[in-house]
Amino acid sequence: MPDNPQLTPDGKLKHLLTLDGLPAGILTQILDTAETFMGVGERDVKKVPLLRGKAIFNLFFEPSTRTRTTFDIAAKRLSADVVTLNIAASSQSKGETVLDTVANLTAMHADMFIVRHSQSGAAHFIARHVAPHIAVVNAGDGRHAHPTQGLLDVFTIRRYKGAFHNLRVAIVGDVLHSRVARSQIHALTTLGVPEVRVIAPRTLLPSHVEQMGVHVFHDMKAGLKDVDVVIMLRLQNERMKGALLPSAQEYFKQFGLTPEKLAQAKPDAIVMHPGPMNRGVEIDSEVADGAQSVILPQVTYGIAVRMAVMSMLMGSTT
């Protein structure tokens, strides 16, 4: 990208739209900032005053529970005023365009938009059209990107593994439709993970995926061999409809993470999942609830990472 719409001319974070093309320095700065927020949730008063007086709007053009809630908590812990709009159920059905919605909220003196939309590129589109003082955070756009999820995943990996330069990471499942996988791949390769693998049937991989810097596997046992980190992706039920897969049962048998398949990974490998999980489809409960699972800590870290992103975008860090 010749001019990165996410950065100011002096290289500071202006919007967070994708991790593709963000320098490693910025990613590390976000992770380091997130560390400073790790204690906040455990205090009696779970708040810091960094974003006092700032108005943050959650614009969810597509339903979400977990992401919306963690953004909400993160903003409140920073003392911001938060308004959540489930636009999927309101103005869009009345025919209001995205740009009209954005203009209306700008008139209400917004400082930041957290955007989720079913179309790839929607956050870029909104960022291009907002007033210059407004920051846009992409909370998931189509199949394109989910940068805060990618960041919380590398934050989790750093917490458990310490460094990135000596890791093998496998991402398993529906990469084709996954904005999470794309953001993970960019974060991992940018931070210097030497070997990122994707494991999936050919029907669930985007064409030319190897050009994103990953090694492709179609066999779980081979793909999981000696990895340090296993990231499972959620399988949507509708994938069975477009003839991408025959059945959830066959998928689980071939690509579901069971204790036997996990045994191929290193003994201290960690297991991650962006949630919500389909137990018995992509992951066996024994693994999801097992000693190697870090799925719940991921959720906790997600709040600290989102606090870090929001405070950096508003130019105020501790």
Token digits of residue 276: 């919500």
Of 162, 183, 219, 175, the C-alpha closest to 67 is 183
Closer CB to other proteins, residue 145 or residue 170?
A: 145
Closer CB to other proteins, residue 117 or residue 234?
A: 117
179 counts as binding other proteins under rule CB under 8 A = yes
Judged by CB under 8 A, which of 41, 201, 206, 297 binds other proteins?
A: 206
| Rama region for 90: left / alpha / beta (φ>0; ψ in -120 to 50; rest) | alpha
- Beta-carbon contacts of 115 under 8 Å, excluding residues fewer than 6 positions away, are 59, 61, 122, 123, 126, 136, 137, 138, 139, 141
Binding mask 98-137 for other proteins (x = CB under 8 A): xx-----------------x-xxxx-xx---x--------
Could you tell me where the DSSP H helices lie in the chain? Answer: 24-36, 66-77, 98-107, 122-129, 147-161, 179-190, 220-224, 248-255, 259-262, 285-288, 295-313
CB 239 within 8 A of CB 174: yes
174 counts as binding other proteins under rule CB under 8 A = no
Which residues in 207-246 contact other proteins (CB under 8 A)? 207-209, 211-212
Binding mask 133-162 for other proteins (x = CB under 8 A): --------xxxxx-----------------
Closer CB to other proteins, residue 2 or residue 132?
A: 2
Strand partners, 59: 85, 115
14 counts as binding other proteins under rule CB under 8 A = no
Of 251, 293, 304, the C-alpha closest to 32 is 304
Closer CB to other proteins, residue 144 or residue 158?
A: 144
Q: Closest separation between CB of residue 180 and other proteins, Å?
A: 11
CB 205 within 8 A of CB 178: no
Which residues in 238-297 contact other proteins (CB under 8 A)? none
Residues that bind other proteins (CB under 8 A): 1, 5, 20, 97-99, 117, 119-122, 124-125, 129, 141-145, 179, 182, 206-209, 211-212
